[in-house]
Structure 1
Amino acid sequence: MNKYDCIVIGGGPAGLSGALTLGRARRKIVIFDNGTNRNRVTQESHGFLTRDGIKPQEFKNFALKGLETYPSISIFNETVIEINRDDQNDLFLVHTSNNKSYITEKILLSTGIQEEFSLSQIRQYYGKSLFSCPYCDGWELRDKPLAIIAENDEHINHMTKLVFNWSKDLIVFTNGYQLSNKLRNDFENKKIKVYTAVIKNLYGNHGNLESIELETGENILRSAGFVVPNFYRPNKFAKQLKCQVDENGGIITDGAGRTTANGIYIAGETKKAGPSSLMIAAADGNKAAFSINMDITLDRF
């Protein structure tokens, strides 16, 4: 069985960036990626310097092409299903869905997060006309008649005030949540209408939103909008490996990718279980790789 210096779980910008740095440090690396990166549903990725507007898969292919220069990096399209720690030898045994096992000294968790929505219909429009990040997609929706779909004061307040920078034509949909009087007054002063009725359905074609129907029978025209999903980690690896978390569910690190579990490092959205940009995730992977390489160096010197 081959032994690796580090196994990278997750081939998004954080994992690929980390692997690149480790490959350049002549470390033997394997990346496991099953193609479930959450930005795969979007048409374009924005905000990454020199690659603004690139298609997510094109961005990923470009990154993978760059890794081909380094012969010590392997990439497997497999899903990791279990990680066991070998305390006696200070190693990890990684098992995949293909009934294969791999040994490694270090692990970089960069599996990202996934969204879940209270309205299943949002999936039909998510990534095409409904989005969760104004910094990523606000420019393309500027001055359009937009919907804000969120279901508590904190999320409604944050998203609405932020999106107001890109379009003043906003309508807030709370899907049954009763907005606080203060927030309602703030919105009324900016001529932002609020509907608190439960949403019955979304209408549109080929992922392009056209209107939102409420249980009251009202049907409000909107061409696009922003939603606030709930985010979750798609696996329990950090918990199973006993990485400590803070009161907000973020995984505690030393600021450079090291978790409280020896040999386990983390980068990207996995760390805070919240959304991040491509550029920040890639920087996280780079930073974690510096830590991994230094720790390997000190272990062996």
Structure 2
Amino acid sequence: MINKITIIGVGLIGGSLAKAIKENNLAKVVFGFGRDLNRLEEAKKANVIDQFSINLKDAINDSDIVIIATPVGSFKEILSEIKPFLTSKIVISDVGSTKTNIASIVSQTLGDYSNCFIPAHPIAGKEKSGFEASESNLFNNRKVIITPLETSSPDSINLIQKMWEGTGADVDFMSPESHDELLGMTSHLPHMLAFSLVNYLISKNPSASIYAAGGFKDFSRIASGDAVMWRDICIQNKDQIIDHIRGYQKTLNSLVDAIENENSDELDLLFTSAKKTRDSWVG
């Protein structure tokens, strides 16, 4: 059993990981670090974490694994702050939704300790935030993508893989570039569409949401996601996100043409194809 796992950022994902580690007896101590002492105290009272501190040295000391579970825009500052307290025995990982930029930041910031950093991303979450929304089973049968760096230690990779598998997750491996391309399509683009749709609706008619049915609520649900997190994701993965938005704009133009020309065959093909694809995916 791992002696101590430190989670920097006890929010939805960090809190869910803490609960999963505790429930599955993966570590003797789950230690939380954050800037807000009151929030950490509440997380301990809720049995999300075992111990906590707002002192980074105390949080890192004697840890076997350190997980960064904060918005990706904060990584450079956090890595710089924890570097003085690192040893070659500590494995560092994250839960961030972008990977290429993180790989570059790790190389620039950690230097000789870069081999201890194993980037990872659990493909799980909710539109809610905070440890109050955390769930110990959030990662059950969900994908976790590990994107090892060229310098990554095989033993460190194995440790992070076993930790995630211990939470019930299914671990896959890919390059940081492949990860960002894939998540740009499957996660980042849909969130951009949801944010834009809600803003468009309100700009056209502020009271329109009163009459929105289930379809709009389903589609717009992820627009309730954390604004800071998604701001950082846009900046970190901007090339992929912009590319996919532009690609999607082309499909909308084709749809406009089909509707404008009353091309029933084209519309039927488009809707039938999408229905079959989604039905196959969810069922």
TM-score by length of 2: 0.30
- Larger RCO, structures 1/2 (Cα 8 Å, 6+ apart): 1
Per residue, is there more strand in 1 or in 2?
Answer: 1
